[in-house]
Each structure stands twice: as C-alpha cells, then as structure tokens.
Chain A
Amino acid sequence: MTLALIVLLPLLGALLPSRLERHSRSVSAWGAAVVAGLAALLLLSQTPAVLAGQVLVAGWPWLPAAGLALAFRLDGLGLLFAGLVLGIGLLVILYARYYLSPRDPMGRFYAFLLLFMGAMLGVVLAENLLLLVVFWELTSLSSFLLIGYWKHQQQARQGARLALTVTAAGGLCLLAGVLLLGRIAGSFELSTVLASGARIQADPRYPAALVLILLGAFTKSAQFPFHFWLPHAMAAPTPVSAYLHSATMVKAGVFLLARLYPALAGTELWFWLVAGTGLATLLLSAAVALFKHDLKGLLAYSTTSHLGLITLLFGLGTPLGAVAGTFHIINHATFKASLFMAAGIIDHEAGTRDMRRLAGLWRFMPQTAALAMVAAAAMAGVPLLNGFLSKEMFFAETVDFTARLGLLGWLLPALATLAGVFSVAYSLRFIHDVFFNGEPHGLPRTPHEPPAWMKLPIGILVALCLAVGTVPALTVAPLLAIAAGAVLGGELPAYSLAIWHGVNAPLLMSLTALAGGVLVYAIRAPLTRFHDSHWIRLDGRRGFERALRTLSLACERLTARLENGSLPRYAAITVAAAVALGALPFVRAGGLGGPLASAPLDAATAGGALLLMLTALATTLLQRLRLLALIFAGAAGLLVALAFARFSGLDLALTQIAVEAVTLVLLLLALHLLPARAPIDTRGPRRLRDGLVATAAGIGAGGLCWAVLSRPYTSIAPYFLENAVPGGGGANAVNVILVDFRGFDTLGEITVLGIAALGIAALLEGLRLAPPACDPDGRPWSADRHPLILATIARPLLPLALLVAAFVFLRGHNLPGGGFVAALITALALVVQYLAGGLVWTDARLHLRAPALIAAGLAVAGLTGLASFAFGHPFLSSSFAHVELPLLGELELASAMGFDLGVYLTVVGVVLLILGRLGRSAQAGTETT
C-alpha cells in the first residue's frame, strides 16, 4: 500500500497546485512541495527494510487476462531512483518558485511537474513490466507538457513535439519488446523475468525482444542516433531541464538497462549493441558539446555524452561495469542538475545564455560562480569530486576489458581517454568562458546574485558532490551497494571507492584527459573554425520536420482522393470492403454449402417467396416514383410478416404487421413533405458500379444465409424452453426471454428507443415543414382534411382497439402478444384519431404527453427491476403468482408483467412523440404558407 501511495500521491497531488494558485504563488509551490515531501517521507519509511536487503513487492490485479497488474516493487535500484526523483524534484520545486516569472502560470507548472514525478516514480517502482510501459508512456506525455510549457514559443512547441514523437515511438517499441519478453519468460512480473535470464537468452525470440527494448531505452536516454531530440528540448524552462534532463526522464533509459540487466545482459549481441551505441554517443556528443555556444546546448550534449558513458558501462556486461554505471548515474544526476540550475541563474540574471557574449561573471555573482565551478569540475572528473571516482572506475573497466577484445583492445581505453579529453575541455569552457575571459559585452541587463533560495538547491547538490568525492565510504557506499546489488541480482564484485589507488593506468588516463582537455581548450579557436567549416551539419530536427511535412502532405493527398464528400461513394466502398472481407473465409473453405439438404418446398411458401422478391425488385426499379415504391415496400413488409408466421415466429409476425402500419404512416407523412418524384442523378457507369456492389452484397448475404442453414447447429434454446414455465411463469418463451431472462437487454433497448425519440423531437424543434399545395401532376389536394366517414368510424374504433391491446398485452406472457405488440396497436389506434380528427381536436381531448409516457415507461420498467432487490434477488429477477379472475380465467401475475407495462408505455410514447411532432411541424408549415 505504501509503495502504491508513493506513486499515487504526486499523480493525485497534481490537482493541488492549480487550486492553490489563487491564494498565492508561494502557496502553490508549497502545495507541490508538501506532496513531494510526503511521498519522500513514505519512501524514507521503507528505506530501512530495503537497506536490510529486503525486496518489497505489493500488488493488486488489474487486467489479469492481459497479464497487467498494479504491482510495485522497491529494491535497491528502485530506492536509488525514487530517491533521485523525489530529492531532486524537491530541489527543483524550490528553484522553480524563484525562476518562473510572474507571467508564467505557476499552478500549471507544478501540476505538470507532479504528474511527471508520479509517472517517473511509477517507472522506477513498477513490478509489472506492462505497468512500467504504461508509466513510461506517461513520462513521455507529461514531459511533452513540460517541454512545451512556454507554449507561446514556436521553439518550445516544436521541441516538445519532437521529444514526444521520438520517445513515444520508442515507447511503442518498448511495449512490443516487453510483450515478447513476457511471452518468453512466461510472466510480466519482474521477479520472474529477472530470475529467468538464462531461458530468455537461449530463446530464439531474444534478439528481437532485445532490439525492441533497446530502441525504447535509447530513444529515452537520447542515445545516438536518437540523440537529436534532447538539445531541442532545451526550449523548456530551465527547472524542467534540470529535472528531466539530468536526473529523471533521460535516466529512464539507463534505468531500464539496469533494471533488465540480469535478464538481458551478458550476450555478444548485448555487448555490441549497447556498448557500441554508448561509445558512439559518448564520443560524438562530447565533441559536439565543445562547439555549442548556448550554455544549455553545451549541457544537453554533455548529458547525452554522459548517458553514453553509462550505457557503455552497462554494455560491457561485467559486474564491475554495472557497479560503475550505477555509481555514475548518481554522480551525473547531482552535478548535472546543479549545472542546469546554475545555467538557469545565469540566463535569468544576465539575460542571455550565449557564451560568446557572456564573460567575467565572476565579479558579478561570485557565489553562483563558485558553486558552478565545483559542479563543472565534478563533470570534468577532477579529483576529490564525485565525478572523478566514477570516471576512474570507468577507465579501470576499459583497461580490464582490453584482454577480451584482442588486437583492437587498446582502442577502448584510447577512445575513453579521448572522450575524457573533450569532457574536460567543455567543462573548462563552461567555467572560463562564462566566469572569466575578460568583460561581458552587450548583455541585456547587469547581472547580480540571485535570491538566496535559488542558490540553495545548487548548494545542496554541490555539497553532495563534494561529500561523495571526499568521503565516499561514509556517504554513498551503502546506497551504491544495494543499488548495484539489485542491478546484478546477486553477489557484488569486490570494488573500492577509495580516492587513491596508487599510480595505475586509470590515474594516468585521468591525468592525460585533464592535460589534453586544457590543451584542446587552449587551441579551441582554430578548432571551432575547422568545426564550423567542415563539420557536416546533421540536424535531426530539420530532417524530422521535413519528414513530418512530407508525411502530412501525403496523408492530405490520400484523404482528398479517398474522401470526396460523397456519401454513396463511402457506402459503396464500405459495402464492397465488407463483402470482400466476408468472402475470404468462404474462399479458403472452398465452398458455401454444408452437409444438410434443403427441406421439401410447398407451393404456398414458394409463391410467397417469389412475391417477396418481386416486390423488393419493384421497389428498387420504381424508386423514382416514390409513392409506388413505398406501396411495394409496404407489401414486402407484410410478406416478411407472413414469412415469420410461416416459420413459427408468431410474435414476430404480429410485431412486424403493427410496425409496418406505423412505418407506412410515417413514410407517407415524410413523402408528403419531400419531392414526390426523384430526378435522375446517376449515369450508366455509376449505376453499373452500384449494381455490381449490390449484386455482390446480395450474393454474400444469401450465401451466408445458405451456409448457416445447411449446417447443423447446437443452440442454447433448450434452456429457455425448459425454464420458461417453471422459471419465468410464462408459456410464451419469446415473451419470457424479453421480459425476464434477457430483461436487462430489453431495458437497454427501450432506453435507446426513448433516446431516439427525444433526438427526433430535438431535430424537429422549431422546424416548419411546408407541404406542397398540389400533387406532382398539378392537382390540388382535397380540401376535406378530415373526411367525415373516417372520423365517424375512428371514434368508436378507439375503445375497441384499446380493448384488443389490453387483451394482447395480458395474454402476452403465455400466447403470442405482449408489451411491444400491444403498444403498437394502441399507438396505431391513437394515430388514427390524429388522422381522422386532426392534431388540435385530438390533443384537446387526449391529454397525452408523449415524453411523460416515455419517462413513465422507463421508470416502471426500472423500478420493477429494482423491486427484486427488496426480496434479496438480483436486478430484474421475476416472481409470479397465478390469479383466478372472473371472466378472464386463470391469469398469471408475474412481476415481469410490470416490466412489460414499462415496455408498453415507452413504445406508445415513442411512436406518439415521433408522429405527433412530425405532424405538428407539418401543420406549422402549412399555417405559415
């Protein structure tokens, strides 16, 4: 529970700062700090157990079928990273309070920051690999928000988009890799995965899984050739860079390497991919960093370079390499975060980050300068600072590794030293160009020391650099031991954190790097000229923007071709595609028909079927003469009802006939308001296309029907048939299914129906539909709107029809009938009143409000369902009793009947609402014309 809280606190706490911002900006910052502080306290409370060697795991199932669990894990590595995330997070919260200008919305900044913090904690504390991927993507999303925080700047928006595209694409690769890994290991739980390293590496799917996971790690950690997003992410506010690009976001990649180290590391493939990429990034970025004039640009490239170093260390696959990599993660986080903060102060106070304009700041801000210089010295690897220790370990590892690489063995230490030379040179440039090197020229404002609170976070981090660098055994040793132990998943190798190991190869390499760095810095002017004229400018961002433009242009063209705004065309494409996809299984199976033969045919059925087909064809051929077409369609509907009756669907036949009548009234009304005849729209080729598509669809539908009917089947029907009487208290199995067994479905369906009716009423709101004054042949309509004979017959018909409806309703549970049919009969009888008497006359006498009927129906149906709770049964269980009524005979009073009453009321309301509103709109139109 505590572990989950550590992750959830910042995620939920993200809501707090914007709420608090209205009080004051400081309160907002305090809110964020309290949230992060609480999470840090929770982490501290768990620390003793982890330091004692325990691995804390807690989890709840989330989607067990997919292997996803809300499971968290706290071991040494998780503790190290969670500590970095929360510790540096707290310092950044303090720093940002003074960094952000009054124009920047502070609540939003802290909300994004806490969101990111929670996501990052989720990554480092996840026990379930899928959960890790979820949080991983969440870090990509929240870092997008943070990088694009100054959303009015185009640079920030582009940088954010670039970062999101690269890291989210990597995240998708990671997901694929993790899925493979989970398949191989048989579980997504880290405990299992980490324990099955041998099995994973022997599996044929290992290379694919490894490459995919590495793609995720390398994009996140900005490794070559995916490094290009990081420098552009420098458009973010500096606190974001200090947080994301020193200690957290970019460290997620190397965290993944460390986390999966026991499962994936140690193979040839791992060595060449990981160490190769790390070495290339280390060297290239170190060289590029030297020539950046932007302070943050220099720091960005130095960051990718140091991440390359860590990647290289893990890539070596040796236990000592893993220890050194873990150690350097800690050291880099401390000195790089403080350097970013110092760069932010310089930018803030001097108004520029361009090192060609900055100089001599030592006089203006001696304290900041001193802190920055110590941090930069740590980055360069100067003795007595933490960077020196891990760099020594790195050099020692490269020397130890020479034996394994044969003839080219000397290359690795040589290149490592070269990278060290560059690292010293750019650190020196950071110090000398900014704080010394003459006088500043053309600064927008006169620099001075920042507020003390802004320097405090840097001071703390620099003090840590010093403490780790001078007395490592007293400070970092226990944390490093458990973290490295968790990475290796077993015994730690023997290593020493001492500052002095005597005169040996690593020390010589360090000294060479220091001397070489000074030399390179001294001759930087010709080097910069050479760089500016000869360096091939591989700007990843420009390539990315170009690719994005090309892609969106291609999409636009494709869309314009596919999507020309013609609905019939879309429908044709959709139907054709459906037919083609539907045909595939038949083509594979090599035929349609099954083993069953057709039953013998009788003349009446054959005649009915023939008639049905003819009416359908007539509807189609005569579609431009709309009234005729409508009559044929109605005839087809009645024939369908006959077909239902012929094949034992009595309820269906009743419903179909009733619906057919209502539909006919509706369509006649519509026809009255639409043109009676259609113009010729389509020419030969279009019709041929439509004809072909329609024929194919017909063959498909008929073929599918035949394929179904000619095969034997097993049904769940016997259950319903056997339980209809004992379980549902009704002999009509169809009705019992509707109101009892599947009552919940029916409740949903009448709800949909009610919503559709309300939608129709909304569409008709305020609409005046003017019917034409005469028919298409120019004859005026009859002036007698309400013929006397119809009116005379209709009135006595109403009670009769209602009686029939009541009869059909009551017997519905045992014989064909029920709520649906009774409702349609009632609605028809009422519609006839409207037709005969007119809207005004009928409304004045009926006092029926259709929306109220729908509401009442849904309420009755729902309450009947709820009533079963009172008897301790689940929703919509029915109970029933037999009642003997005079004249009617034995009657079953099932609670389902209440439900059926709800159905009845709803359907009556729906039909009345639709036809009534439509008639009203037409009448409004008639009156205005």
Chain B
Amino acid sequence: MEMLFSLTVGVLSACGVFLVLRARTFAVVLGLTLLSYAVNLFLFAAGRLASGAAPIIRGPGPYADPLPQALVLTAIVIGFGMTAFLVVLALRLRAETGHDHVDAREDA
C-alpha cells in the first residue's frame, strides 16, 4: 500500500515538474496543479495511511492523525488562490504581449 502510494506521489511529481518546465503558461498552471496534488498527498501521508479511522471523536478510536489533515485542508484552499493568481498573470501577459510564452518573448 505505502509503496504504491509513494509511487503515485512520485509519478504526480514527475509529471508536474515536466509540465512546469514547459514554455507556455497554461502548461505551467497544469503542472503546478499536479505538483500541488503530489505535495498535498505527501503531507497527508506524513500522518500515515489509516483506513476507516477518520478523526471524528466517537468512542475510543483509533483515529488518523488530524494535524496533517488540517494543514492540507488549508493548503488546498490556498492552492486555489495561487492557481487563480497564476492564471490571471498569464491572461495579463497575453493581453499585453499577445502571446503566452513564460519568458514574455515569442522567439525563445
């Protein structure tokens, strides 16, 4: 289970990094989305993988670690803010230069 989970995190990270290294803004946005999936999954897993143990206190437990979950929850929402900011930056770039190249020059 843990091995497969790690593999998934690895594949998501690799795909994310590859996309981030592209020259067009939209690909970079997608890449960052994938990267944030990977990072959120990794942070979440730092509390270990528990099955059927949601941290809703009813009886003696056992419960999953709630702390990484609280961390990741805000990270997801902040991630949305970051994605939105990037998207708008990309749109502004396109409006001002007429293209969507991250280096703000078409020939690069």
Chain A residues close to B by CB (< 8 Å): 565-568, 571-572, 575, 596, 598-601, 605-606, 609, 612-613, 616-617, 619-620, 623, 626, 629-630, 633, 636-637, 640, 643-644, 646-652, 655-656, 659, 662-663, 666-667, 670-671, 673-675, 678, 681-682, 690-691, 693-695, 697-706, 708-710, 713, 715-717, 720-721, 724-725, 731-734, 737-738, 742, 745-746, 749, 752-753, 756-757, 759-760, 763-764, 767-769, 814-816, 820, 824, 907, 910-911, 914, 918, 921
Of B18, B64, B105, which is in contact with the most chain A CB atoms at under 10 Å from its CB? B18
Known: A568-B22, A701-B42. Is A606-B56 also a contact (CB below 8 A)?
Answer: no
> Chain A at the B interface: mostly helix, strand, loop or mixed?
helix
B23 touches A568 (CB 8 A): yes
A734 touches B69 (CB 8 A): yes
Return chain A residues, CB-CB under 8 Å to B40: 640, 652
Contact with A along B3-45 (1 / 0, CB 8 A): 1111111111111111111111111011001100110111011
Return chain A residues, CB-CB under 8 Å to B24: 678, 681
A764 touches B92 (CB 8 A): yes
Instruction: Say how far B71's CB is from chain A's closest CB, in angstroms.
Output: 9
- Residues of B53-108 contacting chain A, CB below 8 A: 53-58, 61, 63-67, 69-70, 72-74, 76-85, 87-92, 94-95, 100-103, 105, 108
Return chain A residues, CB-CB under 8 Å to B20: 571, 575
Instruction: Say how far A728's CB is from chain B's closest CB, in angstroms.
Output: 10
B84 touches A756 (CB 8 A): yes
Of A566, A694, A914, which is in contact with the most chain B CB atoms at under 10 Å from its CB? A694
Return chain A residues, CB-CB under 8 Å to B52: 648
B76 touches A655 (CB 8 A): yes
When the two chains form the complex, which single residue of B30, B50, B95 contacts A633, counting CB atoms closer than 8 Å? B30
Of A596, A706, A731, which is in contact with the most chain B CB atoms at under 10 Å from its CB? A706
B10 touches A702 (CB 8 A): yes
Return chain B residues, CB-CB under 8 Å to A760: 84-85, 88
Instruction: Say how far A530's CB is from chain B's closest CB, in angstroms.
Output: 64
- Cα of A721 to Cα of B3 in the assembled complex, Å: 28
When the two chains form the complex, which single residue of B18, B54, B61 contacts A620, counting CB atoms closer than 8 Å? B18
Return chain B residues, CB-CB under 8 Å to A914: 81, 84, 88
A-B contact pairs, 19 of them (CB 8 A): A568-B102, A571-B20, A575-B21, A596-B2, A598-B1, A616-B12, A620-B15, A626-B26, A640-B40, A640-B41, A674-B100, A681-B23, A681-B101, A703-B10, A705-B45, A760-B85, A763-B89, A814-B56, A918-B88
- Cα of A609 to Cα of B2 in the assembled complex, Å: 11
Instruction: Say how far B78's CB is from chain A's closest CB, in angstroms.
Output: 6
- Cα of A732 to Cα of B15 in the assembled complex, Å: 34
Instruction: Say how far A159's CB is from chain B's closest CB, in angstroms.
Output: 42
- Cα of A647 to Cα of B80 in the assembled complex, Å: 23
- Cα of A745 to Cα of B67 in the assembled complex, Å: 12
Instruction: Say how far B6's CB is from chain A's closest CB, in angstroms.
Output: 4
Return chain B residues, CB-CB under 8 Å to A767: 91-92, 95
A649 touches B44 (CB 8 A): yes
Return chain B residues, CB-CB under 8 Å to A715: 47, 65, 67
Known: A667-B83, A918-B91. 7 other contacts (CB 8 A): A612-B8, A612-B12, A619-B30, A670-B87, A710-B2, A767-B92, A820-B77
A601 touches B1 (CB 8 A): yes
B19 touches A738 (CB 8 A): no
B11 touches A616 (CB 8 A): yes
When the two chains form the complex, which single residue of A606, A673, A699 contacts B4, counting CB atoms closer than 8 Å? A606
A575 touches B66 (CB 8 A): no
Cβ-closest chain B residue relative to A715: B65
B78 touches A749 (CB 8 A): yes
- Cα of A696 to Cα of B27 in the assembled complex, Å: 20
A619 touches B19 (CB 8 A): yes
Instruction: Say how far A310's CB is from chain B's closest CB, in angstroms.
Output: 60
B27 touches A623 (CB 8 A): yes
Cβ-closest chain A residue relative to B99: A675
Known: A648-B64, A737-B70, A745-B74. Is A701-B38 also a contact (CB below 8 A)?
Answer: yes
When the two chains form the complex, which single residue of B18, B57, B69, B108 contacts A566, counting CB atoms closer than 8 Å? B108
- Cα of A818 to Cα of B27 in the assembled complex, Å: 33
> Chain B at the A interface: mostly helix, strand, loop or mixed?
helix
A571 touches B21 (CB 8 A): yes
- Cα of A726 to Cα of B69 in the assembled complex, Å: 20
B73 touches A713 (CB 8 A): no
B44 touches A647 (CB 8 A): yes
B33 touches A663 (CB 8 A): yes
When the two chains form the complex, which single residue of A674, A710, A733 contacts B91, counting CB atoms closer than 8 Å? A674
Return chain B residues, CB-CB under 8 Å to A674: 25-26, 90-91, 94, 100
Known: A567-B103, A609-B8, A674-B100. Is A663-B80 also a contact (CB below 8 A)?
Answer: yes
Instruction: Say how far A671's CB is from chain B's closest CB, in angstroms.
Output: 7
B95 touches A599 (CB 8 A): no
B19 touches A623 (CB 8 A): yes
B70 touches A738 (CB 8 A): yes
When the two chains form the complex, which single residue of A673, A695, A697, A753 contacts B81, counting CB atoms closer than 8 Å? A753
B11 touches A617 (CB 8 A): yes
Cβ-closest chain A residue relative to B58: A731
B90 touches A648 (CB 8 A): no
- Cα of A568 to Cα of B57 in the assembled complex, Å: 47
- Cα of A599 to Cα of B1 in the assembled complex, Å: 5
A613 touches B18 (CB 8 A): no
Known: A670-B87, A703-B6. Is A694-B23 also a contact (CB below 8 A)?
Answer: no
When the two chains form the complex, which single residue of A566, A629, A697 contacts B30, counting CB atoms closer than 8 Å? A629
B15 touches A616 (CB 8 A): yes
A749 touches B64 (CB 8 A): no
B87 touches A721 (CB 8 A): no
- Cα of A695 to Cα of B13 in the assembled complex, Å: 9
Known: A571-B20, A636-B37, A666-B84. Is A698-B73 also a contact (CB below 8 A)?
Answer: no
- Cα of A690 to Cα of B30 in the assembled complex, Å: 16
Instruction: Say how far A347's CB is from chain B's closest CB, in angstroms.
Output: 55
A738 touches B74 (CB 8 A): yes
Return chain A residues, CB-CB under 8 Å to B25: 674
Return chain A residues, CB-CB under 8 Å to B94: 673-674, 769
Instruction: Say how far A444's CB is from chain B's closest CB, in angstroms.
Output: 57
Return chain B residues, CB-CB under 8 Å to A907: 77
B90 touches A655 (CB 8 A): no
Known: A646-B51, A733-B55. Is A567-B102 also a contact (CB below 8 A)?
Answer: yes
A670 touches B29 (CB 8 A): yes
- Cα of A466 to Cα of B80 in the assembled complex, Å: 80
B10 touches A701 (CB 8 A): yes
Return chain A residues, CB-CB under 8 Å to B15: 616-617, 619-620, 694, 698
When the two chains form the complex, which single residue of B73, B80, B82, B83 contacts A651, counting CB atoms closer than 8 Å? B73
Cβ-closest chain B residue relative to A608: B8
Return chain A residues, CB-CB under 8 Å to B66: 717, 720-721, 724, 733-734, 737
The 5 nearest A-B residue pairs measured at CB = A702-B10, A698-B14, A701-B13, A694-B18, A733-B66
Instruction: Say how far A218's CB is from chain B's closest CB, in angstroms.
Output: 49
Instruction: Say how far B58's CB is from chain A's closest CB, in angstroms.
Output: 7
Return chain B residues, CB-CB under 8 Å to A605: 1, 4
Known: A701-B38, A764-B88. Is A732-B56 also a contact (CB below 8 A)?
Answer: yes
- Cα of A710 to Cα of B92 in the assembled complex, Å: 45
B45 touches A708 (CB 8 A): yes
A749 touches B74 (CB 8 A): yes
B50 touches A648 (CB 8 A): yes
Cβ-closest chain B residue relative to A760: B88
- Cα of A737 to Cα of B89 in the assembled complex, Å: 33
